[in-house]
């Protein structure tokens, strides 16, 4: 296996990681020395490992990574996260989550998201706008707050907690980041736990009430799982969507075509969203554990080994996508990897159901600078 060096904190790499993905392409696996990790940008290999139950999200028993004591509050919450678990726990959490987080509930958000997007665009002042704080960050935090049923004036606080917690997954992590993440976890958990108890006595038409009520063959979410699921929906839903918007808007503006031309029909709007997720997705790497000894792609994985699956690199694989480095909305839905097999339908469904294109569409109709 070939070894490569690339500092993932390097500014040029952060702005354009695709040159490095092309440099390492050629074999199903490569060793990324800066991460000390076997990785892949090969679409066939990444897709296969996402679907292979011998590669899992949860460390096999006896191979759990060391967790420093000062990070205990953070990992105590993460332990109940659907994103960190394998079946049967994953199956139970997911069946309860989708009983509350229904298509009907998400579709009902459409007029609100549309109105909010137009309101934000109408509120832009001057000729130059920083879209991240003025638009991309606002929509998911307000929509997820409304969805959960927490007061909207908590949005900025939820955003700050979310940023501090999600920083734990970023390469710039250090002790200061860890301490801020633990502080945010304790505050966020206390807030949500109190909110859940209040909803038990005073049920409303919101997601937290539905999560409390969700039952499946007698199974229900424990309070710890309820707390973690609410935090996850915010953290997973917010960060990915903010950067999905921003990357998508940048790609459309740089394409040189009239922005409105991408939103002429609902089908073209969805094709545009899909292609922005393939061409420049917000989430680049997901890891999996070898749940047993595995011979795969010419490599011997030992039980407990980790592999880095570079979705963004796999989405630019010329063996899978013709002119892979070109943004082409007419290429048709071609099996790019916005999410793992576990939530392919979920993420595509929530993208589609989130009608994320609405802001683009409203954007193009209200497009100024
Ligand atoms: C552009 C937007 C988004 C992208 C690119 C994205 C991508 C992903 C990916 C790649 C995974 C799989 C992770 C893995 O297998 O390790 C995932 C899982 C998940 N995402 Fe998203 N996501 C987005 C938006 C959202 C939103 C808006 C929500 C909810 C409010 C959300 C909630 C979840 C949940 C709960 C899971 C775990 C699903 C499961 O394990 O069954 N995501 N997402």
Q: Whose CA is nearest to atom 18 of ligand 1?
A: 343
pLDDT at 362 over 60: no
Q: What are phi and psi of 307, to 5 degrees?
A: -130, 140
| CA 2/CA 187 separation, integer angstroms | 45
**For 83-87, 213-217, 248-252, 338-342, which range has the lowest pLDDT when averaged over its residues?**
338-342
**For 50-54, 92-96, 249-253, 354-358, which range has the lowest pLDDT when averaged over its residues?**
354-358
Tokens of 328: 């082409």
Query: What is residue 110's three-state secondary structure?
Result: helix
pLDDT at 86 over 60: yes
CATH number (domain holding residue 159): 1.10.630.10
137-172 tens-digit pLDDT: 999 999 999 999 999 999 999 999 999 999 999 888
pLDDT band for position 250 (50/70/90)?
Answer: very high
pLDDT at 365 over 80: no
C-alpha closest to that of 325 among 271, 362, 274, 279 = 279
* pLDDT at 338 (0 to 100): 57
Give me the helices (H) in the chain, please.
Answer: 11-15, 18-24, 43-51, 72-78, 89-100, 103-107, 110-122, 131, 138-148, 155-166, 175-201, 207-213, 223-255, 266-279, 311-314, 344-354, 357-365
| CA 51/CA 45 separation, integer angstroms | 10
Residue 342 CA: nearest ligand 1 atom is 41
By most ligand atoms within 8 Å of CB, the mutation choice from 113, 144, 240 for ligand 1 is 240
Collect all residues with Cβ–Cβ distance below 8 Å to 346 and sequence separation of at least 6.
98, 339
pLDDT band for position 334 (50/70/90)?
Answer: low
pLDDT at 27 over 80: yes
| CA 129/CA 136 separation, integer angstroms | 11
186 lines ligand 1 (CB under 6 A): no
* pLDDT at 100 (0 to 100): 84
| Residues forming a β-bridge with 294 | 301
Mean pLDDT of the chain: 89
pLDDT at 186 over 90: yes
Determine the distance separating the centroid of ligand 1 and the alpha carbon of 344, expressed in angstroms.
9
Determine the distance separating the centroid of ligand 1 and the alpha carbon of 96, expressed in angstroms.
16
* pLDDT at 332 (0 to 100): 82
Q: Are 324 and 317 in contact, with CB atoms under 8 Å apart?
A: yes
pLDDT at 182 over 60: yes
- Considering its fold, how many domains does the chain have in total? 1
pLDDT at 345 over 80: no
pLDDT band for position 333 (50/70/90)?
Answer: low
| CA 111/CA 26 separation, integer angstroms | 46
Q: Are 296 and 309 in contact, with CB atoms under 8 Å apart?
A: no
pLDDT band for position 360 (50/70/90)?
Answer: very low
Residue 205 is part of which domain span? 3-368
308 lines ligand 1 (CB under 6 A): no
């Amino acid at each position: 296996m070939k070894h490569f060096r690339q500092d993932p904190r390097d500014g040029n790499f952060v702005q354009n990681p695709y040159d490095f993905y092309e440099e390492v392409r050629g074999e199903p696996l490569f060793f990324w020395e800066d991460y000390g990790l076997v990785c892949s940008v090969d679409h066939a290999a990444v897709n296969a490992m996402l679907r292979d139950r011998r590669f899992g999200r949860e460390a096999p028993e006896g191979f759990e990574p060391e967790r420093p004591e000062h990070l205990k509050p953070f990992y105590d919450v993460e332990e109940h996260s659907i994103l960190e678990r394998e079946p049967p726990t994953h199956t139970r959490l997911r069946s309860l989550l989708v009983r509350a987080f229904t298509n009907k509930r998400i579709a009902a958000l459409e007029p609100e998201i549309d109105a909010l997007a137009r309101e934000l665009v109408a509120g832009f002042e001057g000729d130059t706008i920083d879209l991240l704080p003025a638009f991309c960050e606002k929509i998911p935090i307000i929509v997820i707050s409304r969805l959960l049923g927490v007061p909207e004036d908590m949005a900025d606080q939820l955003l700050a907690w979310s940023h501090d917690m999600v920083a734990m997954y970023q390469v710039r992590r250090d002790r200061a980041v860890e301490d801020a993440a633990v502080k945010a976890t304790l505050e966020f958990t206390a807030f949500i736990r109190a909110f859940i108890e209040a909803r038990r006595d005073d049920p409303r038409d919101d997601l937290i009430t539905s999560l409390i009520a969700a039952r499946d063959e007698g199974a229900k979410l424990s309070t710890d799982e309820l707390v973690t699921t609410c935090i996850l929906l915010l953290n997973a839903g917010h960060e990915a969507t903010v950067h999905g918007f921003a990357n998508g808007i940048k790609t459309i503006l740089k394409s040189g075509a009239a922005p409105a031309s991408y939103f002429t029909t609902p089908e073209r709007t969805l094709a545009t969203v899909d292609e922005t997720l393939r061409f420049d997705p917000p989430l680049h790497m997901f890891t999996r554990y070898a749940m047993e000894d595995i011979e795969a792609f010419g490599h011997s994985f030992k039980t407990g080994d980790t592999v880095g699956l570079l979705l963004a690199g796999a989405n630019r694989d010329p063996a899978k996508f013709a002119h892979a480095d070109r943004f082409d909305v007419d290429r048709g839905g071609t099996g790019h990897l916005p999410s793992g097999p576990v939530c392919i339908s979920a993420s595509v469904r929530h993208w589609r159901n989130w009608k994320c294109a609405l802001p683009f569409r409203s954007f193009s109709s209200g497009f100024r600078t």
